[in-house]
Structure 1
């Protein structure tokens, strides 16, 4: 047995980590967002946030099979790419800060960002800027930096997309495509900066089929007519995850 796999199997709370990832994938499949918002705070109970980010990035490869093909056909692909390129560039400083921060302050930062994002989403925040190329690039760049620092690639883009007046199907597809592709692009950068090591890679690979099952089920039950219900359910699960994952309970 490879040494990295042996170490991965010895991870404390591995079964719970996999169950959390299954839940995160399910919400991502039907709501179109929320996987990292659920997994990162809960996984950080068992492993340092840096490792949780690495595991999430590797396991999210499954979304390229279960979620991306359908979303790519429905998305405004030019808009996705205008956000994706600057996001890829700003991942670098974000990941550097991720590596540099102590565990406890990082966990509080992650929890605070999720709570602020959730409050903005539930209160119906609306953007004031038009979705032109400059705005898309700025949103993408901010998402990449925050995603590199915390693993939360979604909040900035989710708020930007959900607060517009575009059709629900296109908004959801844009979000899914951006988050899935940025998650894939994070992997080589995380590896280059030493966040993804052998054991983390194996942990992510072990989790990938679990995440794929969750996203596939969520994708299968999605019905645009009930988008508001899925969104509210996603908000509820995210709120529960961040409250349980607060360092306050350690």
Structure 2
């Protein structure tokens, strides 16, 4: 049995996924997030979302291991833990809410709000409440609800982090650390529901080398000379991902 048979992919499919994962890894290495979003947006042409989700978990874990040291050293751990606690508490409410609202409708609403908030931040309009202690837990709680509702909670956390008046390195480190911690809570759900199985884990492991290569390249781009462009790049990336997701939601 060859490797491609083991992961149940043809050579062209694996090559296309490897290219997608490498590019997404570069973005993750520079911005600190968006690996899964980019893989899901492009990889869905090759595999269904339910098969991409566990692969993305493996890729995120590989990327987080590479980037965790910087995230732990530079991130504001008080803010990160506040976001994690708020998110954990918010997820059950999101799951309950999705029963009252269709997934398509809820995702459209959430993505529209993300676009508006990202554009607001690009216009440098500040929301004072987000700088308070209560604002940290509120942002995490909303991210948790959105995770349960439409699986885009990470984008909400990214928006919150980018709203802070902090150096680019601190913002990026906070995103890295939050994503790393949240991986340990999501794997429980994936294992319990059977989403993560042997084939998915093997595929994720096979593609992780490409993700790591991309992350390494992206980290090399995160230099002081590019720091002023970090925040606008991430906000434009969020807007682009949200618009893409919104279009896919309306066409599905």
Instruction: Provide TM-score, normalisation by structure 2.
Output: 0.77
1:137 aligns with 2:137: yes
* Superposed displacement of residue 6, structure 1: 2.0
Work out whether residues 29 and 217 of structure 2, in 8 Å CA contact, stay in contact via their aligned partners in 1: yes
> Aligned residue for 1:211?
211
Count of equivalent residues: 250
3-state SS, counterpart of residue 154 of structure 1: helix
> Aligned residue for 2:222?
222
CA 1:31–1:61 in structure 2 vs 1: closer, same or farther (change >3 Å)?
same
After the TM superposition, which of the residue ranges 131-140 and 155-164 deviates more from structure 2? 131-140
Instruction: Summarize the alignment of residues 27-176 of structure 1 with structure 2, pairs less than 5 Å apart.
Output: 27-91=27-91, 115=115, 119-176=119-176
**C-alpha distance in 1 between matches for 2:170 and 2:251:** 39
Gap runs ≥5 in structure 2:
none
Cα RMSD (Å): 3.8
Measured against aligned partners, the alpha-carbon deviations of 1:63-106 in whole angstroms (never above 9, x if no partner) come to: 232111112101111221111123234445657999xx999879
After the TM superposition, which of the residue ranges 159-168 and 118-127 deviates more from structure 2? 118-127
> Aligned residue for 1:198?
198
After the TM superposition, which of the residue ranges 136-145 and 107-116 deviates more from structure 2? 107-116
* Superposed displacement of residue 190, structure 1: 2.0
After the TM superposition, which of the residue ranges 125-134 and 87-96 deviates more from structure 2? 87-96
* Superposed displacement of residue 33, structure 1: 2.8
CA 1:133–1:68 in structure 2 vs 1: closer, same or farther (change >3 Å)?
same
After the TM superposition, which of the residue ranges 30-39 and 116-125 deviates more from structure 2? 116-125
**C-alpha distance in 2 between matches for 1:11 and 1:185:** 33
Instruction: Provide TM-score, normalisation by structure 1.
Output: 0.77
Work out whether residues 41 and 107 of structure 1, in 8 Å CA contact, stay in contact via their aligned partners in 2: no
3-state SS, counterpart of residue 14 of structure 1: helix
> Aligned residue for 1:21?
21
1:181 aligns with 2:181: yes
CA 1:75–1:103 in structure 2 vs 1: closer, same or farther (change >3 Å)?
closer
Q: Specify which structure has the bigger relative contact order, considering alpha-carbon pairs within 8 angstroms and separated by 6 or more residues.
A: 1
CA 1:103–1:131 in structure 2 vs 1: closer, same or farther (change >3 Å)?
closer
**C-alpha distance in 2 between matches for 1:177 and 1:45:** 30
**C-alpha distance in 1 between matches for 2:205 and 2:95:** 21
CA 1:93–1:152 in structure 2 vs 1: closer, same or farther (change >3 Å)?
same
Gap runs ≥5 in structure 1:
none
**C-alpha distance in 1 between matches for 2:104 and 2:45:** 11
Work out whether residues 118 and 236 of structure 2, in 8 Å CA contact, stay in contact via their aligned partners in 1: no
Work out whether residues 24 and 214 of structure 1, in 8 Å CA contact, stay in contact via their aligned partners in 2: yes
Measured against aligned partners, the alpha-carbon deviations of 1:165-211 in whole angstroms (never above 9, x if no partner) come to: 12332222112211232134312222212322332222222222221
Work out whether residues 95 and 190 of structure 1, in 8 Å CA contact, stay in contact via their aligned partners in 2: no
* Superposed displacement of residue 52, structure 1: 2.5
CA 1:229–1:156 in structure 2 vs 1: closer, same or farther (change >3 Å)?
same
* Superposed displacement of residue 249, structure 1: 7.9
